Structure 1
Amino acid sequence: MEPVPRRMLGCPLCLRLLREPVTAACGHSLCSRCWSAARGCPVCLESVGEELQGNRVNVLANGLLQKWFPEEGQPSAVAECGQGPISHSHQNLSLEATECLQKGQVPLTWEHSSEKYLIFQTMASDATSKLSEERESISDSDEYNVSYSCPCSRSVPPELLSISDFECSVCASLTKDVPIFVCTMAFPRISCPLHIFEPRYRLMMRRCLETGTKTFGMCIYDSVKIFADFGCMLKIEESENLPDGRSLVSTVGGRRFKVLRRGHKDGYNTADVEYLEDKQVTGVELTDLCHLHSRVYAQARNWFDHLPSILQRRIHTQHGPIPDQEGNVQASPDGPQWCWWLLAVLPMDPSLQLMLLSSTSLHQRLTHLQRVLHYLVQNQIL
């Protein structure tokens, strides 16, 4: 048996539009009923594993097929009866998105969703031009007998392409109804140990763990709005339950966010949020930024090294050692980790910390940190 050529949105076994696609461990997708009859993958020839006994449908691929081609995705009466030949020219139609959809069962996180979206956007636009040449060879009789119409007989409308289609339906990168813990400042990639004792937050933590997201937002208190307009996501790394119902939770900071809408759920706060990213700079601006970055890092090192040993040990115990200087200052959307470490340990007013947390300019954050360090050293404030 020769491997079947890859096709876009098409089943490599029946050569029709995928219907209820099932994805094997090898990464290839077939119609669910085709998998039931297959002894092995027709693309790579690997055996069908036991995990496909239940024919679990690839949710991502199935959702896109139903959204993009709702009419074409429905089998005709001829197809249900197993009658009607599929023309050779239809078998050779290039259906350009299967390669990505075949990998769609891999869990998607916010790091991957944008990349997947761009890939599909390009493929959807390219498919129509490739189809126009092949359709000329399809006769009227052939088209009449085709059980599934070709999914690329028209281009995918741009309004049907959405990045949300490639995000996890459970966590969605956690932008809607995000649980909010109103307590203290938290910063990206910096540890934040918590002692949970209030019933509302015990419920919130239990739900975060049970849903598998293990993620919630942290904001400081605001006398007018209940919690601040900006905060930081926290990821639960470990949770130790105590006999009386309290818990000790180890978390680490994730992405920064801006609050768009406030809500309430079973006693604790929630919010719809959008994530923040530092603005990228190039050319002379980037050169100046790198020089400033090196100078402020040296100042931070010098300040920490001259602290009393007891303070150094206390900081080390709670936040760890100062992170190393990063070569690429724009590698992370939140900037260098050591800046957030410094913000967490410096004796600063929470309002200033919040302002720097919300800033999308690394240059601005470094400039403020430089001023704070200079003030502390000049006034011998520890």
Structure 2
Amino acid sequence: MSGETASCSGIILEGIDDVEDYVSANEGVGFWDRYRHVYDHVEHGNQAFRENRFEEAINNYTRASNMKPGDPIILGNRSAAYMRISLFLKHRSPTASEYRPLSGLDMTTLAELALKDAEKLMSLQNDAVRSYILKANALILLERYEMARDIILSGLQVDPSSNILQASLRNLERMPSSLIQTRGHDRLERTDDFDCTLCLKLLYEPITTPCGHSFCRSCLFQTMDRSNKCPLCRTVLFISPRTCAISVTLNNIIQRIFPQEYAERRSEQDSLINFGNDLIPLFVMDVVIPCQKFPLHIFEPRYRLMVRRIMEGNHRMGMVIRDPATDAIADFACEVEITECEPLPDGRFVLEIESRRRFRILRSWDQDGYRMAEVEWVQDIPPRDATDREDLQELTNNAAAHARSWLSTVKASTRDRRKLEAIYNVEVMMPNPQDPERFSFWLATLSNRRPSERLELLRIRDTAERIRRGLIYLGAESPGCRVQ
């Protein structure tokens, strides 16, 4: 059933220019023995419909319905026939009745009968697009435009690619606003047909699962962190954020119909991804200091969600430790950047991390299970004058030379392949000695320090003091010790 028929008060009724054949939908074992006469009536009705003899078509459909009540094909065809007669009467000029009076039902009653058959059809086949097309057209004939629009939107949930429903929606949107009641700022009233059943908000970046349910992309994968089943029907889902595509047609429909609310949803989602300069998500695990590089395995559901959001943003988060004495997170921490991210099929992540800069936490709070923090970025107090800068640079150059010598000794005395790989990973992170502050942190990474000592290094704002401590730590390490 496709195409369009005549217009109705400026609205074109889509999809009622033809009817469905009975055989293709109903033939089977024993059908001809039981329903031969039903088939004959439907066939005669379809022929009459296609020859614009709609009253005759309705009579045949009614006889068939009496023999086989509740048949979807018969109900749908009769509904279309009722609407075609109603359309004819609606377009008939007032003067025509002076020459050829009509008897029988008026156009409104015929439209009501069409709606009744369409509603019965929908109760039998609520997953069939045809029932939504017929019901929407009957409501348009009855000038119940808002209800017709709701039915069209519901039908697009069933089949977002339906050309007939999309055309019907465009036709409604072209109607004069005076014909359609609006709610606030001339916006059409919206139902919950396009809401996510998880967050109860307008679908944003919707994904339709193989079992036919649609959710916001972020909502679906947040639930899949705990279970790989559809949140509604519990069907096992074999999809992942990396390979699962957004339902483009559904997304475009939502964006076009609800532009303002969609923009609000985009802004809301952006706030979860782009945190701003002074906001950062926290991974509570250990103390890290700048100039470190290490792997990280993410398996907790809350941190899987956090990593997904980070990877859609700037790829950065804070690494912080919880103070065992107060059971609160420490006041100083370090920003890290995810340089490599490998999602695993079960939702876990294997990351490669590089630490960047330190910060002090001003306040923190829970957000969707993980912690967010407002921070201030911390730098060392600069030298007071040129003499202090020269002394600091000389100290840094001497420490760099000592560190290179130490690394050469360690590499020469180490035969273990893993230890050698760790040494090379640390060596490649060595910053230019012309940046004393950054070099001071790298120097501390050559030795194994307790979390409390690393936390203290983050709090120190005297570069020279940190270099001196780094040299002391290095002196306590034997050439065979493992490099951190």
Structure with more helix by fraction: 2
Q: Which has the higher contact order (CA 8 A, sep 6+)?
A: 1
Greater C-alpha Rg = 2
